[in-house]
Amino acid sequence: MTFVLLVEQVLNGLQFGVMLFLMAAGLTLIFGVMGLINLAHGSLYMVGAFAAATVAGATGSFLLALAASLGAAALAGALVELTVIRRLYGRDHLDQVLATFALILIFSEGTRWLFGSFPLYLDIPPALSGPVALPFGIDYPRYRLALIGIGLAVAAALFLLISRTRLGIQIRAGEEDREMIAALGVDISKLYTLVFALGAALAGLAGALIGAIQSVQVGMGEPVLILAFVVIVIGGIGSIRGALVGAILVGLTDTLGRALLPVLFGLVMEPAAAMSAGASLASMAIYILMAAVLILRPRGLFGRA
């Protein structure tokens, strides 16, 4: 494995990581403020991707497609919060798991009914296609580099939102003591809807951005949802900083594991056996990472005791 290839894989891992962060940030916010575990977060990711693919197909504009993904996912999130999620805040986690599992079934089958089972495609905009030349003679896809930039920018904006704005103060207060901020005159149900829609919009944006690299299809949100769970277990539930660190760790571990493990096994095994052993172990690498973090810190890296 050459140096150039290694740098490329690290960048791929970073890109994967920041996209996971967009998913995990919403999940961890929703859990931190409302105490809700939302399995349907992957469905909002899918809604964003389908909205983007539809709008891009109709108008040809990638920017409009991104705006549509944000809008559609936020709208779907707010709607779901107002009709279903709202009734789940006081319930135990089992009810939340089941109700949001039911929402996944409804979202997935509803999307299949509307759009059919065939995947849609979302094209990378011309301005972002092709490679970009980096130092040391590395050519890297411009779009993937843009994803890293967008992801980091959204992360920075989210940190500013939470640490500097009035909404951010209310969110942090909500994590601290729900009854107290309601008593202080904050309209808590409006805040909940807003936080849920914000988390949904982030998921939708991630769906649209990833949709341009992969295909847009029913069920695309679920693998990402589960990885986002691994991320927030590693980072610590409720911590945005933990979500960022966890997402990048998971992104790097997964990508580098897939690239490096077959090569490493190749040093001691025959090529064919090394490929399959390396691929099998690589598919488990992030879960092994999660188990290791749990043994050392059961509440995650940045979780509260």
Chain residues binding another protein by CB under 8 A are 31, 37, 84, 87, 93-95, 97-99, 101-106, 108-110, 112-113, 222, 226, 229-230, 232-233, 237, 276, 279-280, 282-284, 287, 290-291, 294-295, 298-300
Q: Please, what's the b/e burial string for 215-241 (b: 16 or more CB within 10 A of its CB; e: otherwise)?
A: ebbbebbbebbebbbbbbbbbbbbbbe
We find the least distance from the C-beta atom of residue 109 to another protein, in angstroms, to be 4
We find the least distance from the C-beta atom of residue 25 to another protein, in angstroms, to be 16
8 Å CB contact between 11 and 144: yes
Which residue, 122 or 243, has its beta carbon nearer to another protein? 243
Residue for token pair 């993904």: 69
Which residue, 60 or 298, has its beta carbon nearer to another protein? 298
For residue 140, the cross-strand partners are: 132
We find the least distance from the C-beta atom of residue 196 to another protein, in angstroms, to be 16
Cα dist from 61 to 11, 112, 127, whole Å:
27, 24, 11
We find the least distance from the C-beta atom of residue 156 to another protein, in angstroms, to be 26
Which residue, 10 or 279, has its beta carbon nearer to another protein? 279
How many angstroms separate the most distant Cα atoms in the chain?
68
Helices (H), ranges, 35-141: 41-59, 62-83, 93-115
Which residue, 113 or 136, has its beta carbon nearer to another protein? 113
Which residue, 150 or 290, has its beta carbon nearer to another protein? 290
We find the least distance from the C-beta atom of residue 33 to another protein, in angstroms, to be 14
We find the least distance from the C-beta atom of residue 251 to another protein, in angstroms, to be 16
Which residue, 129 or 283, has its beta carbon nearer to another protein? 283
Contacts of 299 (CB under 8 A, 6+ apart): 236, 305
Cα 281 from Cα 257, distance rounded (Å)? 8
8 Å CB contact between 139 and 132: yes
